[in-house]
Amino acid sequence: MSYAIVGFGKIGQALAHAFARNNMDVTVASRRSPEELAPQARAIGPTVAAKSLQEALKADIIFLAVLFEQHPEVAKALPSWKGKTIIDTTNAFGVPPEDLDGLPSSAFVAKAFDGAKLVKGFNHLGAGTLVTDPVIEGGHRVVFLSSDDEDAIAPVADLAKQLGFAPVKLGKLNEGGALVQARGRTWGSLIFQDLFKKQQ
């Protein structure tokens, strides 16, 4: 399984730290050139490689770590997303619900990434928290995973475990997943809950 992070801002870098901490390879990309991103990537760790967006999109599992408003631009980068899993870290806070065709924001994102499997996750904590080691004595920081595609969650849960997190599955995007979605100017009730699970 190969991994990439698209968007190398606060959340992208926090995720890159998690890969580096666990000595796992990850490719990072943004609209900037790999040369521009390389010093920051190198500073995080030797397993973090800056590449072009097209190179990064060769990965099997791709974290979408751009602003919600920026996702359509990323979605245009491939003609088909078949075979890819997108982990949607975006929060559509402040986006009018009527702009989302009545869907949870991640279901709206899923429509743009035609053919991909989409899992919502790694979005419920501030970047300053997400960047810290999720392994504490006797426990692991919880990440919530939700998806309308049941098969998609297992590999993302495996990845979360490899990164030191404790994945908790919430079910479908409009069911348990609603607890980790922003809607208009409100936050789902699990957003910002920094929870730990006892040793798995």
Ligand X SMILES: NC(=O)c1ccc[n+]([C@@H]2O[C@H](COP(=O)([O-])OP(=O)(O)OC[C@H]3O[C@@H](n4cnc5c(N)ncnc54)[C@H](OP(=O)(O)O)[C@@H]3O)[C@@H](O)[C@H]2O)c1
Binding residues for ligand X, per CB under 6 A? 6-12, 30-32, 53, 65-68, 70, 73-74, 89-91, 123, 126-127
Tell me the C-alpha distance between 136 and 156, whole Å. 21
Residue 29 beta carbon to ligand X: minimum distance, rounded to whole angstroms: 6
CB nearer to ligand X: pick between 10 and 183: 10
Tell me the two tokens of residue 200. 């798995």
Packing angle of the helix pair 10-21, 34-44 (nearest 10 deg): 50
Q: By the 8 A CB rule, do 64 and 12 touch? A: no
CB nearer to ligand X: pick between 133 and 194: 194
Pick from 167, 140, 163: which is nearest to 152 by CA?
Answer: 167
Angle formed at CA 133 by CA 130 and CA 137, multiple of 5 degrees: 130
Which residue number places its CB atom closest to ligand X?
Answer: 9
CB nearer to ligand X: pick between 131 and 153: 131
Residue 1 beta carbon to ligand X: minimum distance, rounded to whole angstroms: 21
Residue 199 beta carbon to ligand X: minimum distance, rounded to whole angstroms: 26
Q: Considering only CA atoms, give the Rg of the chain.
A: 16
Residue 101 beta carbon to ligand X: minimum distance, rounded to whole angstroms: 19
CB nearer to ligand X: pick between 32 and 185: 32
Angle formed at CA 139 by CA 136 and CA 140, multiple of 5 degrees: 85
CB nearer to ligand X: pick between 10 and 161: 10
Tell me the C-alpha distance between 191 and 115, whole Å. 28
Number of residues that this document lists for the chain: 200
186-187 and 182-183 beta bridge pairing: antiparallel
Residue 130 beta carbon to ligand X: minimum distance, rounded to whole angstroms: 7
Residue 97 beta carbon to ligand X: minimum distance, rounded to whole angstroms: 16
CB nearer to ligand X: pick between 150 and 186: 186
